[in-house]
Structure 1
Amino acid sequence: MTTAVPLIYCFPEFSGVAEAVADHILAAQNYALYNDYNKKVPALSATASNTSLRTGFSSSSSNTHLPRSNSHHHSASVSKSRKEKRLQEKQENRRFKIGLSGGSLIQVLEEGLLKRDDIEWNKWDVYFADERLVPFDSKDSNYGKAKRKIFDNIPAGNGRPNVFPIDISLINDPQECADQYEKTLIKGFASKDSVKLPIFDLILLGCAPDGHVASLFPNQESLRENYAWCTPIEDAPSGPQKRISLTVPVICHAHRVSFVVEGATKAPVIKTIMERPDKGLPASIINEKAAGKIAWFVDSDAVSDVDGITKKTYKFLVNTK
């Protein structure tokens, strides 16, 4: 059995998985933007609410006519107002940074997210945990599928996310494409600072029957990449051979990592992941290394063969009233 017991939320059918995953995403969004699952925006003080009025005074002529004793008080007040204004601007500029994989996960997101009216799409930065190096109109393109199923169907008036696909001109060169996507990540996560790894608010992953996660396949060298943020895949054993993927350290460095797995075809690999982590499947590696950050959203069929796990009831975090 795995030494770090993950949260495993089990549902009798697909619709339950989709609804819970949507709530999980929304809670992560609200926490990233407001430090609260239920979007309780921090109240501004009276000083902050009047910032524009206070800072409208001239710093020269107005202050010279104040008594000396009040001048210091006014200066301190303006300084406090400016500080609170900066905090307010920082609050307003927060972004929800999410990484998506592809496959059946996109269908779950389509089912769960598009029916909600409390997604702040205009504050989302969407990156991809992996991508197949195919044209965007291919059925194998993660971005293309997400665009067709989700982004193109966001109701009018709900805003649009910032979405960061691969450079389509580089699909014949996995190394160059991976390097370019890493530059995209650096711009989004470390434009002003030097950081060792990006910190996603949430990364959503599926899990294939062979245990591969994103485009990290069993027994491949890419599993051992410890420095790059994005790695090229030249010879994927199934599907399109050329791909790029976020590396294990990047995935495990996210605030939250969630697997979304459904269907009886996944039951054998889920059994191996939970009962035999020593097999070293990519999903097992992430399940272990991101201990404490992991949640699994599964249907009953996917865990039908697994012994010794505790299936938890998902408690919705976002108040929909």
Structure 2
Amino acid sequence: MTTTVPLIYSFPEFLGVADAVADLVISAQNQTLYNTTDQKQIELIKSGQLKRPSINKTNSSISVLNQSNGNNNLNNNGSSNHNSNSNINSINNTPNHSPSHSQSGLNFNNNKSSSSNTSNLNPNTNTSSSISSSTSATTNNIEKNNKIKKEKKILKKQEIRFKIAISGGSLIKILNQGLLSKQDYIEWDKWDIYFADERLVPFNSPDSNYGQAKLEIFDHIKGDKKPKIFHIDETLIEDPQEAADDYEKQLIQNFAKKDSVKLPMFDLLLLGCAPDGHIASLFPNHGESLREKLAWCIPIENAPSGPKNRITLTIPVICHASRVAFVVEGLTKAPIIKTIMERPEKGLPSSIVNEGAAGRVSWFVDDAALNDLYDITKKKYKYLSIPEPK
């Protein structure tokens, strides 16, 4: 049995997985953009009648996207440590990575103090004038500071975006099935979409994650408001190292900018799991890629299955995400799911993530993929952002 048991949501069929994943994505979007999943509050925030709630760093009572039994502790690579006594879904314990709009105010009592002091002063002295001048300067400083803070808040509000990374394979079809019919709940223009991995093939190849996502999802987005999509440079597919370096530069530009950031933090990272146990393009028994600690994106050459050359996000980047969700369906996945959950000592990539991102990992699985698994408690998914399917 895995030492850190993730949340496992089980569904009778493919459609149930797709609907729940869509709700997860939209809930994560709302939590990131508005610090709440309450649709009434969101509408008030959008209309300007309510301020966006801020996360209290000293109190772990943050908005959650779902519910489960147990406490979840977060402390990963500098992310916030939230200990909650309420029943919360581990994937929805969101470290405070979104820009917070609450800033501690300055408390000055200079006016009161000046009034008290000047009442006893000799009017023939210049002290009263000096204090008045000092008070005026302090007031101007306060007003200037408040203006700067207000401008910073506006700037931060403009910069808040939902950063999601997706993998390929059957996950693309699940997102097609679940998301496209629920676009009224999606604010595409506030999304930054990245890829957890990519096969180094032309975009028109059925093996291209970006190519398939474009065909199945991006080309079907309604309206003029589109997401920002970050993909590999197609001209670099013949050079895995250069392709990986170039994609990492995109990540650095968007996550680090002028700041020193050890790791990027995605609001949600969606992964599949292949029958051989690989996630993204991290394969079992590929020691070097699984042990990489510093790089954000690395090349994979001579992959044991599928296209040989790829790039992939590394284990530390995956584990640093606010939420990690594995989406798995089909009877062919049952043996590997059993190994992942019951034999963590085998060191499969997803088992490493279960441990490394403990408290923020969930699995969305159909019953067929759990065919051989009996000792894991399955949970009912609670819909928060879209109506529960009947």
Offset, 1:285: 1.2
Q: Is residue 2:324 matched to residue 1:257?
A: yes
Does the Cα contact within 8 Å between 1:216 and 1:222 map onto a contact in 2? Answer: yes
Instruction: Give the superposed CA RMSD.
Output: 2.1
Residue identity opposite 2:2 in structure 1: T
The correspondence of residues 167-246 of structure 1 with structure 2, limited to 5 A, is: 167-220=233-286, 221-246=288-313
The correspondence of residues 82-93 of structure 1 with structure 2, limited to 5 A, is: 82-93=148-159
The TM-score, its normalising length taken from structure 1, stands at: 0.88
Offset, 1:280: 1.1
SS at structure 2 position matched to 1:194:
coil
Hey, what's the Cα distance between the residues in 1 that align with 2:160 and 2:296? Answer: 22
Report the counterpart of residue 164 of structure 1 in structure 2.
230
Does the Cα contact within 8 Å between 1:233 and 1:245 map onto a contact in 2? Answer: yes
Report the counterpart of residue 69 of structure 2 in structure 1.
none
SS at structure 1 position matched to 2:156:
helix
Offset, 1:87: 1.1
Does the Cα contact within 8 Å between 1:201 and 1:254 map onto a contact in 2? Answer: yes
Does the Cα contact within 8 Å between 2:33 and 2:160 map onto a contact in 1? Answer: yes
Cα distance per residue 1:182-217 (max 9 Å; x no partner) = 111100100110111111111000000010000000
Does the Cα contact within 8 Å between 1:11 and 1:298 map onto a contact in 2? Answer: yes
Report the counterpart of residue 363 of structure 2 in structure 1.
296
SS at structure 1 position matched to 2:21:
helix
The TM-score, its normalising length taken from structure 2, stands at: 0.73
Hey, what's the Cα distance between the residues in 2 that align with 1:181 and 1:207? Answer: 23
Offset, 1:224: 1.0
Cα distance per residue 1:94-135 (max 9 Å; x no partner) = 011111100000000011111111101101111110000000
Q: Is residue 2:169 matched to residue 1:99?
A: no
Does the Cα contact within 8 Å between 1:38 and 1:319 map onto a contact in 2? Answer: no
Report the counterpart of residue 283 of structure 1 in structure 2.
350
Residue identity opposite 2:243 in structure 1: C
Using a 3 Å threshold, how does the CA distance of structure 1 residues 319 and 83 change in structure 2: closer, same or farther? farther
Report the counterpart of residue 272 of structure 1 in structure 2.
339
Cα distance per residue 1:143-168 (max 9 Å; x no partner) = 000001000101124x1100011011
SS at structure 2 position matched to 1:9:
strand
Does the Cα contact within 8 Å between 1:28 and 1:201 map onto a contact in 2? Answer: yes
SS at structure 1 position matched to 2:185:
coil
Using a 3 Å threshold, how does the CA distance of structure 1 residues 92 and 140 change in structure 2: closer, same or farther? same
The correspondence of residues 121-160 of structure 1 with structure 2, limited to 5 A, is: 121-157=188-224, 159-160=225-226
Offset, 1:70: 8.7
Structure 2: 5+ residue stretches without partners: 53-131
Hey, what's the Cα distance between the residues in 2 that align with 1:316 and 1:283? Answer: 25
SS at structure 1 position matched to 2:204:
coil
Identity of aligned residues (%): 61
Residue identity opposite 1:245 in structure 2: T
Does the Cα contact within 8 Å between 2:199 and 2:209 map onto a contact in 1? Answer: yes
Report the counterpart of residue 64 of structure 1 in structure 2.
none
Hey, what's the Cα distance between the residues in 1 that align with 2:10 and 2:166? Answer: 21
Does the Cα contact within 8 Å between 1:34 and 1:91 map onto a contact in 2? Answer: no
Hey, what's the Cα distance between the residues in 1 that align with 2:258 and 2:244? Answer: 22
Hey, what's the Cα distance between the residues in 1 that align with 2:305 and 2:174? Answer: 22
SS at structure 1 position matched to 2:277:
coil
Report the counterpart of residue 176 of structure 2 in structure 1.
110
Q: Is residue 2:6 matched to residue 1:6?
A: yes
Residue identity opposite 1:196 in structure 2: K
Residue identity opposite 1:238 in structure 2: S
Does the Cα contact within 8 Å between 1:174 and 1:242 map onto a contact in 2? Answer: yes
Offset, 1:77: 5.0
SS at structure 2 position matched to 1:284:
helix
Hey, what's the Cα distance between the residues in 2 that align with 1:35 and 1:190? Answer: 22
Report the counterpart of residue 62 of structure 1 in structure 2.
none
Q: Is residue 2:101 matched to residue 1:35?
A: no
